[in-house]
Amino acid sequence: MLLAALAVVFGLILLVWSADRFVDGAAATAKIVGMPPLLIGMVIVGFGTSAPEMVVSAMAALDGKPELALGNALGSNIVNTSLILGVTALIAPIIVHSKIVRKELPLLLAIGAVSGYFLWDYSLSRVESVLLLLGFFGLIGWSIFSALRGQGDPLEAQVEHELEAHPMSLGKAVFWLVLGLVLLILSSRLLVWGAVTIAEALGVSDLVIGLTIVALGTSLPELAASVIAARKGEHDIAIGNVVGSNMFNLLAVIGIAGVIHPVMAITPEVVNRDWLVMMAMTAALLLMAFGFRGQGRINRWEGGTLLLGFVAYNIYLIFSII
């Protein structure tokens, strides 16, 4: 039990560090080969911040723990929307300038609805998982198209500023890209082993472990990125990281896990509790940040409301397993 706890702690620390190195290396490599800054921000950084969830869920599915993978995906979205944006808005109210981010918010809600439709019969087949992955590739294509047509979007200037603040040579960028990816895989394997061992020892379900410890751990890169961006006044990066990561989680993380290990008997709470909470928080985010009558904004009161939602949800989870 002690060894498993140490594995979780060390795995989470290594996961966060390696994810950061992976994103930095990938973004710097893309800039050196001439990729537009907006495309780097929408695709490379979005993919990189979701890499921990993807790798952890793939490892969980390979170990025959698909509900851990599902819990990680849904739990990460709940953490991203409520905890990360809540804390970020409390530090500095988030003003949404980017038209692209405002287009992504309704799309995120639609993707959430589709994922819920696939899970509604308490199963996830390989065909449904493939459809989610096809949706992921379609999202990548749409992101590329939007980035190429979105010249002058406020998000572009913010990404360009970040890239110029951390210059790298090609050799150094590739080194961190490869090392970050390798350590992501190793730390994910360590984290999954420790989490499953703790769950079995305490008699807690894989789903709950995925929704709590694993989801929080894999979302730490988004937390760090969003808080730092908000403090710098780069509000569109702060919310763009979360929205992009949430879409990737629903399409790629669930899709990859389902292709590896289809789930024939999903615990009803996944749909009746966790998916519904995720959708409610996504709808709240849309109402707060979209800006129907002008500029979108998440103020401190709204950030506090999101944070209270995170606390209430986790208290409910704790009481459900006592």
The mean per-residue pLDDT over the stretch 113-122 comes to 94
Interval 37-70: pLDDT, tens: 666 766 777 777 777 788 888 888 888 888 888 9
Structure tokens at 134: 């096809």
Gap between the Cα atoms of 99 and 109, Å rounded: 17
Judged against a pLDDT cut of 60, whether residue 247 lies above it is answered with yes
Q: How many CA atoms lie within 13 A of 321 on its CB side?
A: 17
Tally of CB atoms within 10 A around 202: 12
User: Scanning the structure block, which residue is given the tokens 């572009």?
Assistant: 156
Give the residue with greater pLDDT, 303 vs 32. Answer: 303
- CA dihedral (4, 6, 12, 17) positive or negative: negative
DSSP character at residue 124: B
Gap between the Cα atoms of 244 and 221, Å rounded: 13
Gap between the Cα atoms of 58 and 80, Å rounded: 20
pTM given for the model: 0.84
Judged against a pLDDT cut of 70, whether residue 76 lies above it is answered with yes
The mean per-residue pLDDT over the stretch 185-209 comes to 82
The answer to whether 40 touches 145, Cβ cutoff 8 Å, is no
Q: Compute the mean pLDDT over every residue in the chain, rounded to the nearest whole number.
A: 82
Cβ within 8 Å of residue 304, ≥6 positions away: 86, 89, 90
Q: Give the DSSP letter string of 165-195.
A: HS---HHHHHHHHHHHHHHHHHHHHHHHHHH
Gap between the Cα atoms of 31 and 177, Å rounded: 13
User: What pLDDT is attached to residue 295?
Assistant: 65
- Alpha helices in the chain, H assignment, sequence order: 2-32, 37-39, 45-62, 66-78, 85-91, 99-119, 126-149, 154-165, 170-202, 206-209, 215-231, 235-248, 254-260, 269, 276-289, 300-321
Q: Of 215, 214, 198, whose CA–CA distance to 2 is shortest? A: 198
Gap between the Cα atoms of 232 and 268, Å rounded: 42
Q: Which domains does the chain have, with CATH numbers?
A: 2-321 (1.20.1420.30)
The mean per-residue pLDDT over the stretch 169-182 comes to 83
Stated as kind and residue range, the H or E segment containing 309 is helix 300-321
DSSP character at residue 81: I
DSSP character at residue 10: H
Give the residue with greater pLDDT, 52 vs 270. Answer: 270
Judged against a pLDDT cut of 60, whether residue 293 lies above it is answered with no
Give the residue with greater pLDDT, 152 vs 130. Answer: 130
